[in-house]
């Protein structure tokens, strides 16, 4: 029986739930709501960094899910439902937003980060009332969020993997379901239990009471709300129905957002006017526009983000160069005046930089001052184990200059190190000048941090336990070799790289028990004999080489491989949207710096087969890399 009179207000309306979640269906059904289920096709790829708070991201995603369904249903039969309900649940810890894990390793990463900690579960909800006027869809949107605090117990490795292997984490935000097996991980919660399950029923009923039993105008307290940009990403209504929303991809570079203003398209009218809200002002001023909202072109939010994106990158580069994150790792929180004094910079402008870092989620700000998020401590502190600081500095000091000459690379068809840096690419690290040695060390640190991000996934993409020897060609610091040695205690790994690289490799060599399995050898894989091995490895090497050098190298590897020997190839490919975005970005890098190019999965497979590696297996690693394992056929 419905909870009258509140939920009963929906009984005579056509209500649609824009979600395939069985948990949300059960919660609403138990409350007596009668509804249809039409899963949204909205691609959950909003740029998290563009939102001022995690709940804003969840609310915007919920709204876009609901608007997608409303638009598709209206365009399909020219009759929209009366009410569409959208919801999105996220888990946040240390400034990071955790959604559904993409694989078991991702689930492990998420659950490990929650172990022994209190985290927040946010559900954003959008209630969209639809009207069809003169064949056009009009909407009123009411939105809210609910937060629940959840504390996990300290989780053992055995318990973590037992839970992950149950399969339950794979379709749950944050990698757990509190209503099922995941409940055994939880020490306590503060707030709405159903919110953690996936839908804040109590807050939903309160919102319905506001909508259908609004207070008298004189009783309304006018408040100012932050506006959340809307997104125009409706799919083609001719697409075939079906499919739920996909787990969000974690590449910080893909951002959707929308602008606002008096005539902004897609800005749903608020049911309670918010003073100062640009969207509310737009409702009043719509009559002043010469064009209706339906005839306006889509707001170019993605385009504007691309145009402005270099500024965000440079701000991050600057904060890293000033060692802001190192300061806050050592002493936190700190006031802006103290940070400015430590980095010998302007107080006002330092504060603006710190506020930007807070807005994009890499710093936290309280009344006591600024502190690092977990993300900053992991990756932005210069000497942390997983630091990307040198990779960032490489982009700031080297790649930034190269990309300012991209137009010349495209027009002339040549790489640009000489114009940008005063040297040819092959000469960058060849002289003995101290600055060149420091540049080389920076490059090696950059590659070390970048390789460590995916080393475990690459090492475990296939079962390599039957190999006894491996040779990582161009293995630089040995970051991948170290992970291979940890995963396969009987594997002896040789790292081959140029003499000037090996000169500094000792700075990165492991000190654990795996060190005995790894040897570093100086050599040029184009000129010198390759060390004998059962398995050769080329990790992110081929895309930097012109075609003739690719064939030369693969021929040398094939000639050194005995029948049954294998080649492990790691590259970003052009096949799917997420990987192609990264791969194409790397291809721009090859335009300005080398004469290489990116390839598709099929092209890499054919390259291996052409050089005698006939049995080729492929595995996806993370969001952007493919790992190929080719086995040498008998003569």
Q: What are the φ/ψ torsions at residue 371 (nearest 5 degrees)?
A: -140, 155
CA distance 91 to 118: 11
CA dist., res. 447 & res. 478, Å (int): 10
Cβ neighbours around 161 below 10 Å, total: 15
Report the DSSP pairing between strands 269-270 and 186-190: unpaired
Rounded Cα distance between 194 and 29, Å, is 13
Which secondary structure element, helix H or strand E, spans residue 54, and what is its range?
helix 54-77
Helices (H), 360-405: 374-379, 389-394, 400-403
d(CA 184, CA 154): 11
Strands 566-571 and 535-539: parallel
Burial 472-488 (b: 16+ CB within 10 A, else e): bbbbbbbbbbbbbbbbb
d(Cα 548, Cα 236) in Å, to the nearest integer?
A: 43
Beta bridge partners of 538: 569
- 598 vs 585: CA distance, rounded Å: 10
Catalytic residue among 68, 82, 88, 383: 88
CA distance 37 to 164: 29
Q: φ and ψ at 454, to 5 degrees? A: -120, 5
In the numeric block, which tokens belong to residue 435?
């600055």
Residues written for the chain: 635
Would you call 171 a catalytic residue per the annotation? no
Beta strands 83-93; 118-133: pairing state: antiparallel
* Those residues with Cβ within 8 angstroms of residue 111's Cβ, 6 or more apart along the chain or in another chain: 155, 160, 163, 164, 169, 175, 176, 185
Q: What residues are annotated to the active site?
A: 88
């Amino acid at each position: 029986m419905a909870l009258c009179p509140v939920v009963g207000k929906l009984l005579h309306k056509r209500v649609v739930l824009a979600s395939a979640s069985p948990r949300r269906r059960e919660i609403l059904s138990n409350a007596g709501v009668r509804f249809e289920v039409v899963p949204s096709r909205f691609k959950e790829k909003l740029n998290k960094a563009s939102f001022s708070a995690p709940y804003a991201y969840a609310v915007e995603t919920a709204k876009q899910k609901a608007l997608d369904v409303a638009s598709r249903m209206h365009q399909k039969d020219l009759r929209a439902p009366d009410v569409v309900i959208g919801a999105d649940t996220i888990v946040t810890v240390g400034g990071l937003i955790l959604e559904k894990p993409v694989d078991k390793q991702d689930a492990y990463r998420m659950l490990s980060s929650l172990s022994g900690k209190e985290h927040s579960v946010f559900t954003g909800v959008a209630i969209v009332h639809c009207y069809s006027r003169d064949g056009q869809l009009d909407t009123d949107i009411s939105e809210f969020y609910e937060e629940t605090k959840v504390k996990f117990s300290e989780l053992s490795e055995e318990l973590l993997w037992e839970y992950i292997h149950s399969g339950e984490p794979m379709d749950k935000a944050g990698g757990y379901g509190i209503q099922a097996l995941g409940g055994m991980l939880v020490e306590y919660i503060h707030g709405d239990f159903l919110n953690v399950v996936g839908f804040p029923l109590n807050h939903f009923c309160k919102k319905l009471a506001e909508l259908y039993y609004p207070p008298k105008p004189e009783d309304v307290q006018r408040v100012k709300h932050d506006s959340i940009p809307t997104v125009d990403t409706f799919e083609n209504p001719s697409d075939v129905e079906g499919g739920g929303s996909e787990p969000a991809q974690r590449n910080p570079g893909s951002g959707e957002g929308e602008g606002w203003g008096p005539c902004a398209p897609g800005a749903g009218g608020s049911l309670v006017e918010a003073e100062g809200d640009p969207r509310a002002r737009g409702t009043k001023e719509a009559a002043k526009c010469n064009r209706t909202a339906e005839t306006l072109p889509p707001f170019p939010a993605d385009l504007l983000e691309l145009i402005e994106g270099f500024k965000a990158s440079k701000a991050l580069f600057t904060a890293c160069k000033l060692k802001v994150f190192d300061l806050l790792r050592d002493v936190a929180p700190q006031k802006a005046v103290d940070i400015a004094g430590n980095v010998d910079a302007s107080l006002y402008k330092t504060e603006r930089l710190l506020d930007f870092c807070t807005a994009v989620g890499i710093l936290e700000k309280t009344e006591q001052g600024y502190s690092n998020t977990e993300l900053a401590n992991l990756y932005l502190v210069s000497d942390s184990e997983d630091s990307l600081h040198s990779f960032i500095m490489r982009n700031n000091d080297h790649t930034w200059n190269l990309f300012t000459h991209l137009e010349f690379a495209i027009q002339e068809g040549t790489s640009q190190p000489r114009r940008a840096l005063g040297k040819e690419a092959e000469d960058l690290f060849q002289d003995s000048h101290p600055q060149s040695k420091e540049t080389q060390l920076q490059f090696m640190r950059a590659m070390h941090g970048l390789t460590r991000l995916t080393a475990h996934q690459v090492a475990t993409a296939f079962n390599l336990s039957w190999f006894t020897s491996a040779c990582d060609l161009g293995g630089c610091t040995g970051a991948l070799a170290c992970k291979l040695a940890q995963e396969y205690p009987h594997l002896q790994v040789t790292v081959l790289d140029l003499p000037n690289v090996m000169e500094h490799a000792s700075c990165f060599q492991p000190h654990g028990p795996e060190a005995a399995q790894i040897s570093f050898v100086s050599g040029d894989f184009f000129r010198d004999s390759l060390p004998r091995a059962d398995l050769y490895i080329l990790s992110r090497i081929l895309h930097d080489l012109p075609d003739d050098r690719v064939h030369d190298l693969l021929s040398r590897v094939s000639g050194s491989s005995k029948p049954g020997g294998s080649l492990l190839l790691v590259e970003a490919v052009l096949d799917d949207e997420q990987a192609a975005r990264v791969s194409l970005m790397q291809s721009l890098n090859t335009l300005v710096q080398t004469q290489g190019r990116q390839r598709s999965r099929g092209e890499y497979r054919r390259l291996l087969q052409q050089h005698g590696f006939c049995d080729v297996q492929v595995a996806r690693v993370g969001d952007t890399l493919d790992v190929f394992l080719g086995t040498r056929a008998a003569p």
